[in-house]
Amino acid sequence: MNRNENVWTDAKCAALRVEFLTSCEELFLYAKAIYSAMMWGREVNEKNRVIQEKNNSVK
């Protein structure tokens, strides 16, 4: 299983933990939103890592 599939599985599990969803469609949409947020966060972390590496190499 690749990393993106693991993130998708984590997002689905997180969506299943909430009690305010009333249909399968809502569950899917909520899981998709969580997945998108997790992928965005991963991208931001990677950009920050690159910036910090550049800053450390200048010192």
- Structural domain range at position 10: 4-58
| φ and ψ of 17, to 5 deg | -80, -20
**pLDDT by position in tens, the chain (length 59):** 687 899 999 999 999 999 999 999 999 999 999 999 999 999 999 999 999 988 888 76
Q: Which two tokens stand for residue 8?
A: 């998708």
What is the pLDDT at residue 4? 85
What is the pLDDT at residue 2? 82
Euclidean distance between CA atoms 9 and 24, whole angstroms: 16
What is the pLDDT at residue 59? 63
What is the pLDDT at residue 41? 95
Q: How many domains does the chain have?
A: 1
∠ CA 52-36-10 to the nearest 5 degrees? Answer: 95
The 3-class SS string of 1-59 reads: CCHHHHHHHHHHHHHHCCCCCCCHHHHHHHHHHHHHHHHHHHHHHHHHHHHHHHHHHHC
Tell me the whole-structure pTM to 2 decimals. Answer: 0.79
